[in-house]
Chain A
Amino acid sequence: DQQVKQNSPSLSVQEGRISILNCDYTNSMFDYFLWYKKYPAEGPTFLISISSIKDKNEDGRFTVFLNKSAKHLSLHIVPSQPGDSAVYFCAAKGVEYKLSFGAGTTVTVRA
């Protein structure tokens, strides 16, 4: 049963504009959320995270928003750059070790 869902498999955005990636989860026990970025032929790399006690975390061009009541989080990339073209995975963590991943969203930044 998929507890973390990324309903948009792909997203195309023009360079300089905002990219918004969405993620929904079903398990209310999740208390920590992460975004990973993956280039072709490479492993996922950690990008940004947020604890359930916060509703926003910002790191440079990347901001993650968490809406606990809606069990929804989003990643904003502003401004989008060609190097941001990659697959982005949303992941959620509960009380133990396990990360539950979404299936990923492929972002393409157009010049």
Chain B
Amino acid sequence: DAMVIQNPRYQVTQFGKPVTLSCSQTLNHNVMYWYQQKSSQAPKLLFHYYDKDFNNEADTPDNFQSRRPNTSFCFLDIRSPGLGDAAMYLCATSRGYSENQPQHFGDGTRLSIL
């Protein structure tokens, strides 16, 4: 089945130690998104790629960066994780921005900071 796959499902890292989360898709969608979701809160968009064009949200901390080496893969890099970065990170894809092109989500990576 075509899908959005996130690895790993659970990630534990130490305070200040860089960590990379991975997302891959077999849908051949143009757009890939990264969301942060903390407990009992709404998912918050961090940034997205439309093809190779990177779009950062204004309030995304500089500590968060992303790479999209090809259509299928997108990475979220956290340079120096702090305790406040512990959250669920969701990757999503969509064919485009149109209304009839809803976002498809992966199952998320739960990040813990020691």
Total interface residues on B, CB under 8 Å, equals: 23
Does A43 sit at the interface, judged by CB under 8 A?
A: yes
Convert A12-38 into 0s and 1s, putting 1 for each residue whose CB lies closer than 8 angstroms to a CB of B.
000000000000000000001010100
Does B105 sit at the interface, judged by CB under 8 A?
A: yes
Q: A46-B103, A49-B99 are in contact. Are A89 and B43 (CB under 8 A)?
A: yes
State the CA gap A32–B100 with chains docked (Å).
10
Of A44, A51, A103, which contacts B40 at CB under 8 A? A103
Are the C-beta atoms of A49 and B97 separated by less than 8 Å? Answer: no
Are the C-beta atoms of A102 and B42 separated by less than 8 Å? Answer: yes
- Which residues of chain B are within 8 angstroms of A100 by Cβ–Cβ distance? 42
State the CA gap A104–B44 with chains docked (Å).
13
Nearest chain B CB to A36 CB, angstrom units = 8
By beta carbon, the residue of chain A nearest B40 is A103
- Which residues of chain A are within 8 angstroms of B99 by Cβ–Cβ distance? 32, 49, 51, 93
Nearest chain A CB to B97 CB, angstrom units = 4
By beta carbon, the residue of chain B nearest A100 is B42
List residues of chain B with CB under 8 Å of any chain A CB.
4, 6, 9, 31, 40-43, 45, 48, 50, 55, 90, 92, 97, 99, 102-108
